[in-house]
Amino acid sequence: MVKSVFQKSAFALIAVSLLAGPLFGKPGAFTYIVLAGTLLYLFTGWYLPLIKEEKFYLGHGLAGFVYSTVMTASVMAQHAYPGAIYFVIYGVALSLALVLYMFIKRREVNRYLFMQAVVLFMLSVVPFFECRL
């Protein structure tokens, strides 16, 4: 229960930062909140409930990797790294695959976590507006 509340509040803070970071044009506090969220989901994604509330370590780890990829792509786009567009495309593809997986398994998946994956997919396209081709 505590993990679930922590994960939901962390995602809310990171989602706001993912949306607000590009609005200011240069990397700032929001970018570093997203970077901290990247490390959080990459290293502790195995133990946070990201698909369902049960122990499902492999699935949660893969979902944590998807969350981390989307956040890393956003940070790279805000810092204007040369290969950021490839990470953004990869993050969009992975988040779409996560949403499709959760939609197919919707009877087993927590509804809040499904909506969280949909929000992640919607936020994954935000760095497209920052990438310079």
What pLDDT digit, counting tens, does each position of 87-106 carry?
Answer: 999 999 999 999 999 899 88
State pLDDT tens for residues 32-41. Answer: 898 898 888 8
Residues 27, 79: Cα–Cα separation, whole Å: 6
- Asked if residues 120 and 95 have their Cβ atoms less than 8 Å apart, the reply is yes
pLDDT tens digits along 39-79: 888 888 777 777 776 777 777 778 888 889 998 998 888 88
Residues 6+ apart with CB under 8 A from 24: 30
Q: Which tokens hold the place of 28?
A: 């700032």
HSE-CB for 48 with a 13 A CA cutoff: 23
Please give the Cα distance from 78 to 29 (Å, whole number). Answer: 12
- pLDDT at residue number 133: 56
Domain ranges of the chain: 2-129
